Amino acid sequence: MRRTKEEAAETRREILGAAEVLFLNNGYENVTLDEIAAAAGVTRGAVHWHFKNKQGLLFAIRDKAQQPFQELAERIAERHPPNPLELLIDTISGTFADLQQEPRKRGMLKVIMYLDMAFCEDATDNEDSFRHDMRTHFARIFHSIDAVKPLPPPWTADTAASALTAIIGGLVGEWALDRGDFQLVPCGQALIKMILTTWFPTHQGHEGSVTTA
């Protein structure tokens, strides 16, 4: 049974990897499930089994992109580390560095942005959007920090999470679409650190904790 589960997980990774490459190279709308199956060396039925449809693949790619923040929110809520703000700054900074250093991740980001625009804008609760999920992770982190040291008025954990989501979304979106005359490293990193340490001044850590390259 263990081997079967491992093989299934490996098949899932291969399908997802093939889908990422095809979406980047050909565009989401121009890729078929048959092409994804062929590229992954599996049957179309295997793709349906693991992801149901092409939209399911796109959601899986989105979930993979936000995984570091989900794991961080769980870690802070469950283990209460002494340096949660530094961990959040480092995670955001590391994400910015990965995006800037790896062109394919920049392209994948555009695919994720397409997902939000194509499938989530008409939803009344917007609960299926990447932004909603990221806001949820940030809110969980801020609630944990706020329980130790409250945010300065008028901020709350929820309003701070909404603001941070909007700021990161704006920075990354403008950068991904080549609309801004700035780079995520170091400009985006410095802005995020400035904002977070303003909200939580007593949680400021060592200056070297933020990756700048």
Q: What are the pLDDT digits (tens) for 121-132?
A: 555 555 567 888
At the fourth CATH level, the homologous superfamily of domain 1-52 is Homeodomain-like (1.10.10.60)
- The CATH T-level fold of domain 59-209 is Tetracycline Repressor; domain 2 (1.10.357)
Instruction: Look up residue 201 and give its DSSP letter.
Output: G
Q: What are the pLDDT digits (tens) for 87-115?
A: 999 999 999 999 888 877 777 777 777 66
Count other Cβ atoms within 10 Å, centred on residue 119.
14
Q: What are the pLDDT digits (tens) for 174-201?
A: 888 776 678 899 999 999 999 999 998 8
* Confidence at residue 136, expressed as pLDDT on a 0 to 100 scale: 95
**CATH 1.10.10.60 region(s) of the chain?**
1-52
Residue 151: CB partners within 8 Å, gap ≥ 6?
142, 157, 160, 199, 200
For the whole model, what pTM was predicted? 0.81
Could you give the CA distance from residue 82 to residue 102 in angstroms, rounded to a whole number?
32
Could you give the CA distance from residue 2 to residue 19 in angstroms, rounded to a whole number?
26
**CATH 1.10.357.10 region(s) of the chain?**
59-209
Could you tell me if 81 and 87 are in contact, meaning their C-beta atoms sit under 8 angstroms apart?
yes
pLDDT higher than 50, residue 205: no
Q: What are the pLDDT digits (tens) for 3-31?
A: 588 888 999 999 999 998 998 888 888 99
Could you tell me if 176 and 114 are in contact, meaning their C-beta atoms sit under 8 angstroms apart?
no
